[in-house]
Structure 1
Amino acid sequence: MFSSAIRNKSRLVFDLQKLSNKFSTSNQSNVKVAVCGASGGIGQPLSLLLKQSPLVTELSLYDIVHTPGVAADLGHIETKSKVKGFVGPDQLKDSLKGAEVIIIPAGVPRKPGMTRDDLFNTNASIVRDLAQAVAEVAPKALVGIISNPVNSTVPIASEVLKKAGVYDPNRIFGVTTLDIVRANTFVAELKGLDPTNVNVPVIGGHSGITIIPLISQAKPSVEFPKDQLKALTERIQEAGTEVVKAKAGAGSATLSMAYAGAKFAFALCRALKGESVTECAFVKSDVTEAKYFSTPIVLGPGGIAKNLGVGKLTDFETELLKAAIPELKKNIQKGEDFVNKN
């Protein structure tokens, strides 16, 4: 019985290691990652995934409640990374000291009938205050913002960092990875493919019509009839609402967002160590008329090493882009105005 238990434990550890290595080509363990909003519906599973990665040496967890308990819970997991919890505004700056990667899922979740814009007033203040602490304590960190509405919260963080005199547009990212994860999954389902081998770039923003999946640039190459392509595009754009409705008031997309957030965090960790990694993210951009825009970007130790742009678009995708730009510009302006008025 004892030997059987040992075998089962070894199998579990091996499976967890495989999960980590899905996002890592290196077992080097030397990045400090901070999660702001670590006790929430996204923050807890995100922190669990980060704890399992060999890329993470130290995990610093911050929230306004329960963080010491979350840290104690994760601290019992048999991986090398050290975990420490920080709770309340008085401990915020301490939680960010020495952080090389900061992931921000803090804020209130979406509920049935709510748009991402409805979240604005609460989450805008949260992101503003976190960005101020980043500016003072960890201005050189690579910062991934999950808090919605991303189209506005990324400009908010950027404006705060500008006012503090430490803004580097190459180090601030809106995490749109979930849109790519969903696109990969939905395309794979329709074509009978292995979703781990599908890669669909998604450009634009991170809400509704600003989400522009570039099915024409998918790898492997796929084609759909016009009506199916339209339906697929709309499903990707409204997938968040699909989850909110399915949970019937019990929350929004937390587990899939945690997975996507971890995937992007691991990309930042790998880039910090000199690996060239390509991911889509919502960043300061001159690719379109919108000041911020998501495109595939090459990541390096200093953040954005190269913006790969939108590539060649089909007529259908060009129309999606035209529809997205006015909405994006409005969202961005709303974020900038919030900081300038507050």
Structure 2
Amino acid sequence: MVKAVVAGASGGIGQPLSLLLKACPLVDELALYDVVNTPGVAADLSHISTPATVTGYLPENGEGLKKAFTGADIVVIPAGIPRKPGMTRDDLFKINAGIVKGLIEGIAQHCPKAFVLIISNPVNSTVPIAAEVLKRAGVFDPKKLFGVTTLDVVRAETFVAGITGERTPSKLTIPVIGGHSGQTIVPLFSQAQPAVNIPADKYDALVNRVQFGGDEVVKAKDGAGSATLSMAYAGFRFAEKVLKAASGEKGIVEPSYVYLPGVSGGDTIAKATGNDFFSVPIELGPSGAEKAIDVVSKANEQEKKLLEVAYKDLQGNIQKGIDFVHNPPQN
């Protein structure tokens, strides 16, 4: 029996993500948690004729979180707020960092052995926050903590297919590494399988589109939201791969933002990048992240230049997350 939890289930990402998980044959029990509307979302989903049973929980002085998380095998966290007009990135960081910290404390207490998939932005900082909270609680398993960067991979597949004419973008395998914001996102088109030919005059624009695809959606939605549906799809795609690997399926590889020193093969990549947290292709298995695959050393000259920028930006992002736990901001 597999119990999946969506923390932040009532939001723009949480609802479509919950729908996809309800439809997934690998999930037997789906628990939804959020500060508002979860019983209604759960009731709506529970009418869908798939096997998973659905329950929805509100905080209820900590009891709701306890009920939602207890016995969970996988917890996917899209919780948080989008940036609103007049709000600085720092304001956003403090709010979302606090939300993630609270949820991870709940995981440490109620389901410490669960796979934890973090979607909440900024992923570059929220995953280090989660690691520090889990370390403090004495339950940190680096193989089970993932920052979901799959949307960057999905965008790379889609945008490259638009250039090469591939009718099924998901047939392309394109490593997208680094972090999960702006210039920390580095697509390695030179290592695409099958090989792709990106015309030189389209390369820079393609890289920029993968790095800043989120801005494209925000602009198109004209202030009414950000990338919620594509993020829900990407979050589900990664969650499904984790569940398939956990059930024994072999050969599953997908990039994810992980704590490299705790994953086999990760030390070499951490030394090369100067960062303990970094997204690289991860071989998934029953224990989670079983192997980090070194694609960094095979980057071409163009990609190395992009990576140098990513390394530096990531160092600041990671430290910001660690500092948030050890020196919480005063209100």
TM-score (norm 2): 0.92
Report the counterpart of residue 92 of structure 1 in structure 2.
65
The answer to whether the 8 Å contact 2:164/2:197 transfers is no
How far apart in 2 are the matches of 1:197 and 1:206? 22
How far apart in 2 are the matches of 1:127 and 1:50? 21
Opposite residue 300 of structure 1, the aligned amino acid is G
Report the counterpart of residue 271 of structure 1 in structure 2.
245
Mean Cα deviation higher: 205-214 or 308-317: 308-317
The answer to whether the 8 Å contact 1:67/1:85 transfers is yes
How far apart in 2 are the matches of 1:100 and 1:36? 13
Deviation at 1:43, TM superposition (A): 0.2
Partner of 2:28: helix, strand, or coil?
Answer: strand
The answer to whether the 8 Å contact 2:175/2:281 transfers is yes
Deviation track 1:260-302 (CA, whole Å, cap 9, x = no partner) reads 0000110111111111311100001131211100000011111
How far apart in 2 are the matches of 1:283 and 1:53? 25
Q: Residue 267 and residue 117 in structure 1: after superposition, are their counterparts in 2 closer, same or farther (change >3 A)?
A: farther
Choose from 60, 65, 83 the match for 2:31.
Answer: 60
Mean Cα deviation higher: 310-319 or 293-302: 310-319
Deviation at 1:223, TM superposition (A): 1.6
Report the counterpart of residue 255 of structure 2 in structure 1.
280
Report the counterpart of residue 151 of structure 2 in structure 1.
178
Q: Residue 145 and residue 166 in structure 1: after superposition, are their counterparts in 2 closer, same or farther (change >3 A)?
A: same
Deviation track 1:159-201 (CA, whole Å, cap 9, x = no partner) reads 0000111111111000000000000000001111121311211
Matched, 1:192 2:165: yes
How far apart in 1 are the matches of 2:2 and 2:302? 42
Matched, 1:308 2:289: no
The answer to whether the 8 Å contact 1:50/1:56 transfers is yes
Report the counterpart of residue 318 of structure 2 in structure 1.
332
Mean Cα deviation higher: 52-61 or 188-197: 188-197
Partner of 1:173: helix, strand, or coil?
Answer: strand
Q: What is the root-mean-square deviation in Å for CA atoms of aligned residues?
A: 1.4
Matched, 1:78 2:53: no
Deviation at 1:220, TM superposition (A): 1.7
Gaps of 5+ in 1: 1-29
Gaps of 5+ in 2: 261-266
TM superposition outliers: structure 1 runs of 4+ over 4 Å: 111-118
Choose from 277, 294, 311 the match for 2:279.
Answer: 294
How far apart in 2 are the matches of 1:111 and 1:187? 32
The aligned length equals 313
The answer to whether the 8 Å contact 1:111/1:252 transfers is no
How far apart in 1 are the matches of 2:248 and 2:67? 27
Matched, 1:36 2:7: yes
Report the counterpart of residue 160 of structure 1 in structure 2.
133
TM-score (norm 1): 0.89
How far apart in 1 are the matches of 2:304 and 2:137? 38
Deviation at 1:119, TM superposition (A): 2.3
Deviation at 1:227, TM superposition (A): 3.0
Report the counterpart of residue 318 of structure 1 in structure 2.
304
The answer to whether the 8 Å contact 1:112/1:244 transfers is no
Q: Residue 153 and residue 203 in structure 1: after superposition, are their counterparts in 2 closer, same or farther (change >3 A)?
A: same
Partner of 1:282: helix, strand, or coil?
Answer: strand
Choose from 70, 74, 94 the match for 1:101.
Answer: 74
How far apart in 1 are the matches of 2:207 and 2:115? 31
How far apart in 1 are the matches of 2:88 and 2:315? 17
How far apart in 2 are the matches of 1:35 and 1:68? 13
